[in-house]
Amino acid sequence: MLKVNAVPALSDNYIWIVSTGDSARVAVVDPGEAAPVVDYLAEHGLEIAAYLITHHHGDHVGGLASLLADHPAPVYGPAAEADKIGNIDHRVAGGDRFTLDFLGATFEVIDVPGHTLGHIAYDTDGVLLAGDALFRAGCGRVFEGTHDQMQQSLARLRALPDNTRVYGGHEYTQKNLAFATTVEPDNAAIGAAIADVDALRAGGRPSLPGTLAEEKRINPFLRWDDDNVRAAASRHAGRELDDPGEIFGVLRDWKDAN
Ligand code: ZN
Ligand code: FE
């Protein structure tokens, strides 16, 4: 099983370091900043053998050019945003697969437009590198795509196996859970997640990853077809909602206004 470690960066980003645990060669996911990665490598005696990029936002790629100068390695990134990002050696898109031999792992690329239009996620060996598409108990804001697009992207991620560990790009979980409980005050799984996450954060530990099994129980943005979530979104909208994209959109706007 792959090991995935968090390097906290900027105010609330995580740069994920993927390794086998018994080799010094690692993949670095979404390096929004260089310095914390350099420190982490030095502290643990690691070397970068690949970079994986999910989307073009600065808090995910801001450290890439400077890391490449001292730690050259192949860069995988979204084909549709490669020109914007620069330094992408392998332009990948949904349905593509590639193998990183140093990890003994094959990655499947999933298109998840919505937060940005070219946003991709990487899935391998029960590990989902989700960028700003899916967080624990939440999802990214819809900046470039439509609500329908984002809902369809999340449906694609929701179809992955329940035991998938979800590594999103931000520590937003406590705020996400506060919103989740606003939508579903009677959902006991959300209460349990709040206790779990509060304990992790009090201990200075990341609340990520979540599992897809848990996400399906607590994340309102994956629960458009749950009766309680649909009813809550309908009450909020002031009319009966049925369409998944519309339910998602009402929830997204509701959270953005919170
Ligand atoms: Zn972003
Ligand atoms: Fe971000």
The answer to whether 68 and 75 have CB atoms below 8 angstroms apart is yes
Q: Taking residues 150-176, what's their average pLDDT?
A: 98
Q: Is 142 left (phi over 0), alpha (psi -120 to 50) or beta?
A: beta
Largest pairwise CA distance in the chain: 58
Question: How much distance in Å is there from the Cα of 132 to the middle of ligand 2?
Answer: 5
Please report the pLDDT score of residue 54 as a whole number.
99
- Number of the ligand closest to the Cα of 32: 2
Ranges of beta strands (E only) in 63-150 are 75-78, 90-92, 97-100, 105-111, 120-124, 127-131, 134-135, 138-139
Please report the pLDDT score of residue 245 as a whole number.
98
- Number of the ligand closest to the Cα of 59: 2
- Where do the domains of the chain lie? 3-256
Other Cβ atoms closer than 10 A to 126:
14
- Does position 108 have pLDDT exceeding 90, yes or no? yes
Question: How much distance in Å is there from the Cα of 160 to the middle of ligand 2?
Answer: 22
Read off the pLDDT of residues 50-100 as tens digits, 9 standing for 90 and up.
999 999 999 999 999 999 999 999 999 999 999 999 999 999 999 999 999
Other Cβ atoms closer than 10 A to 221:
27
* Separation CA 30–CA 9 (nearest Å): 10
Residues with CB under 5 A from ligand 1 (ion): 57, 132
Residue 156 buriedness (CB in 10 A; 0-12 / 13-18 / 19+): middle
Question: How much distance in Å is there from the Cα of 14 to the middle of ligand 2?
Answer: 9
Q: Is 208 left (phi over 0), alpha (psi -120 to 50) or beta?
A: beta
Question: How much distance in Å is there from the Cα of 43 to the middle of ligand 2?
Answer: 25
CA-nearest of 141, 126, 154 to 222 is 154
Question: How much distance in Å is there from the Cα of 214 to the middle of ligand 1?
Answer: 23
- Number of the ligand closest to the Cα of 14: 2
Question: How much distance in Å is there from the Cα of 28 to the middle of ligand 2?
Answer: 15
Question: How much distance in Å is there from the Cα of 121 to the middle of ligand 2?
Answer: 13
Between these two residues, 1 and 194, which has the higher pLDDT value? 194
- Does position 258 have pLDDT exceeding 90, yes or no? no
- Number of the ligand closest to the Cα of 169: 2
Tell me the CA end-to-end span of the chain in Å, nearest whole number.
Answer: 39
CA atoms within 13 A on the CB side of 168: 26
Read off the pLDDT of residues 117-162 as tens digits, 9 standing for 90 and up.
999 999 998 999 999 999 999 999 999 999 999 999 999 999 999 9
7, containing H or E segment: strand 3-9
* Separation CA 134–CA 85 (nearest Å): 21
Read off the pLDDT of residues 195-251 as tens digits, 9 standing for 90 and up.
999 999 999 999 999 999 999 999 999 999 999 999 999 999 999 999 999 999 999
- Is the domain spanning 3-256 CATH 3.60.15.10? The answer is yes
Question: pTM value?
Answer: 0.98
List of residues 6+ apart from 72 with CB closer than 8 A: none
Supply the residues annotated as catalytic. Answer: 55, 57, 59-60, 115, 132, 170
Please report the pLDDT score of residue 163 as a whole number.
98
Please report the pLDDT score of residue 2 as a whole number.
96
